[in-house]
Amino acid sequence: MSNPTEEDVVVGTGGGRDLHADIYRPADPNGAGVLMIHGGGWRMGSKAMMPPQSNALARRGFTCVAIEYRLTPEAPWPAQIHDVKTAMRWFRAHAGSLGVESDRIAVLGNSAGGHLALLLAATPGRAEYEGDGGNADVDTCVAAVIAVYPPVTFFVGERTSGGTSATAILGDATTEEAAKAASPIEYAHASFPPTFFLHGNGDKVVPVSASINMYNALSRAGARAEMHIYAEQPHTWARWPKWVQPTMDEAALFLDRYVVNPAGYRPPTQPL
């Protein structure tokens, strides 16, 4: 495993402290970037979890920025999405110096990071989620999403299909309204960025029905969505050494079509 090209770069502030990121520069850059968001149930984890996937994508030409965000023991929701959007604004503002075109930045997230990736893509310009961590004049639009076993909807009380308990992210502030506002599936629309889901059907933490439901919602809305369900794989499997390069190769192919060379790709006009 190789180290980041640059470590602990300050990308903004959150809660009165600096927010940091690690940058992975490819040997042969393709002009596209990927914001990398770790998982951990919004309460644990760090950017130190992201080198395997970041390096795998860098080998395919993508400049990767693996970020930190304040966890719920430090700051309650919506601090987490505020920090993610702060990092995206920094990435877009510094795209040129990183050899990236600002409109060719995608986002990848695992588990809770997948939720944040989807919500980032779903809410550009939504004031309550933007925060004030820096580069306020830069938007937070993303070119595409790689969502790896992501929670997509939160329930209060009785469990819903594919749902995650809202208290996991909202804590004592849990309400039906807040749970709905934090659920990416509520924002499915035709102009949602192209999204690729990777999920194992052996996942006991975030059921595969979460990705299936979001995929179906995006497809019905007219957005571009793709999905690969891996047989019997549990939660976190995509970060296992034997799966990192194969899954990131799949992600890279998706990003090649929709981000690196979008003008050269047209979806089929009839079933294959």
Domains and CATH numbers, the chain: 6-260 (3.40.50.1820)
Look at residue 2 and tell me whether its pLDDT is greater than 60.
no
Which residue's entry shows tokens 């599936």? 185
Q: What is the 3-state secondary structure (H, E, C) of 37-103?
A: ECCCCCCCCCHHHCHHHHHHHHCCCCEEEEECCCCCCCCCCCHHHHHHHHHHHHHHHCCHHHCCCCC
Q: Compare 93 and 208 and report the one with higher pLDDT.
A: 93
If you average pLDDT over residues 205-214, what whole number do you get?
90
User: So what's the pLDDT on residue 272?
Assistant: 34
Q: At residue 211, what are phi and psi to the nearest 5 degrees?
A: -65, -40
| Helix %, strand %, coil % of the chain (to 5) | 35, 20, 45
User: So what's the pLDDT on residue 1?
Assistant: 43
164 beta partners: 154
Length of the chain: 272
Look at residue 63 and tell me whether its pLDDT is greater than 60.
yes
Which residue's entry shows tokens 């309650």? 76
Predicted confidence band of residue 271 (pLDDT cuts 50, 70, 90): very low
Look at residue 216 and tell me whether its pLDDT is greater than 70.
yes
d(CA 124, CA 122): 6
User: So what's the pLDDT on residue 201?
Assistant: 86
Look at residue 209 and tell me whether its pLDDT is greater than 70.
yes
Q: Comparing C-alpha atoms, which of 103, 182, 93, 108 is closest to residue 142? A: 103
Predicted confidence band of residue 160 (pLDDT cuts 50, 70, 90): low
Predicted confidence band of residue 5 (pLDDT cuts 50, 70, 90): confident
196 beta partners: 146, 226
Q: At residue 24, what are phi and psi to the nearest 5 degrees?
A: -115, 110
User: So what's the pLDDT on residue 79?
Assistant: 97
Look at residue 240 and tell me whether its pLDDT is greater than 90.
no
Q: Comparing C-alpha atoms, which of 30, 108, 38 is closest to residue 63? A: 30
Q: Which amino acid is at 158?
A: E
Which residue's entry shows tokens 């430090």? 74
d(CA 237, CA 235): 6
Q: Comparing C-alpha atoms, which of 100, 98, 111, 90 is closest to residue 23? A: 98
Predicted confidence band of residue 270 (pLDDT cuts 50, 70, 90): very low
Model confidence pLDDT, tens digit, residues 163-173: 788 888 998 88
Write b or e for each residue in 251-263: b if 16 or more Cβ atoms lie within 10 A of its Cβ, otherwise e. Answer: bbebbbbbbbebe
Look at residue 265 and tell me whether its pLDDT is greater than 70.
no
